[in-house]
Chains A and B, each alone.
Chain A
Amino acid sequence: DAKTTQPTSMDCAEGRAANLPCNHSTISGNEYVYWYRQIHSQGPQYIIHGLKNNETNEMASLIITEDRKSSTLILPHATLRDTAVYYCIVRPNSGNTPLVFGKGTRLSVIA
């Protein structure tokens, strides 16, 4: 079972920042927080991941609370092409544990 809780859906105006929350209150010390997204029936796409520090890459920023029980994915300037289902997943840094996908958040970017 997924160990994260995400809102079912969110809307965001094009050009504005999209802030997607995720609760992972039972996260263990060796577990990373990963974000993936799936654009309509395409293969899931890796976005970003982190352990305890905030992370930023060309796609997004990841803010992890100090107690690591929640995080927020930030898309700084959402475009229509960012409309997708976003999955927050916790996973240890081990080659033996698969990604377990929950239901994710369906983000709709509106013009």
Chain B
Amino acid sequence: DSGVTQTPKHLITATGQRVTLRCSPRSGDLSVYWYQQSLDQGLQFLIQYYNGEERAKGNILERFSAQQFPDLHSELNLSSLELGDSALYFCASGRVGLLGEKLFFGSGTQLSVL
């Protein structure tokens, strides 16, 4: 158990719909990262938050947005869903130390868009 909790584990929805994925980081971790993994693209970085502020952005579509709340949990919102958005979505949390930052990943949310 990594200590990172993602809900829901599975999500099935239709094209055009909107969904919200939730991530609770490990206790004490200020950073949350979101990744997308589809069969043909591998693990793609989407976005990072640190203590409520956006820190880095990757290949995140404009239809996607995220935020980190004061209690440090994070949500990834996916709207106007398309078939190609079907993927595993992982979040990870970490904290920067003197000797680097280990990231701990949740077990992911499997999104199926039909």
Which residues on A are within 8 Å of B, measured CB to CB? 32, 34, 36, 38, 41-46, 49, 51, 87, 91, 93-103
Residues of B contacting A93 in the complex (Cβ-Cβ under 8 angstroms): 96, 98-101
Query: Interface extent on B, as a size class?
Result: 20 to 34
What residues of chain B lie closer than 8 Å to A42, measured between beta carbons? Answer: 107-108
Residues in A with CB closer than 8 Å to B56 are 96-98
Looking at chain A's contact residues, the main secondary structure is loop
Question: Once the chains bind, are B105 and A95 in contact (CB under 8 Å)?
Answer: no
Does B58 count as interface, using CB distance less than 8 angstroms? Answer: yes
Q: Chain B residues near A87: list those with CB within 8 A.
A: 43
Question: Given the known A-B contacts A44-B43, A99-B33, A100-B45, are A94 and B96 also in contact in the complex, defined by CB atoms under 8 Å?
Answer: yes
Is there an interface contact between B45 and A43, defined as CB atoms closer than 8 Å? no
Complex: how many Å from CA A101 to CA B25? Answer: 20
Known: A97-B56, A98-B48, A101-B42. 7 other contacts (CB 8 A): A36-B103, A41-B108, A42-B108, A43-B2, A43-B106, A93-B96, A99-B33
Q: How far is the CB of A31 from chain B (nearest CB, A)?
A: 10
Q: Do B100 and A49 have beta carbons less than 8 Å apart?
A: yes
Q: A95 CB to closest chain B CB, in angstroms?
A: 4
Inside 8 A of B31's CB, which chain A residues have their CB?
95
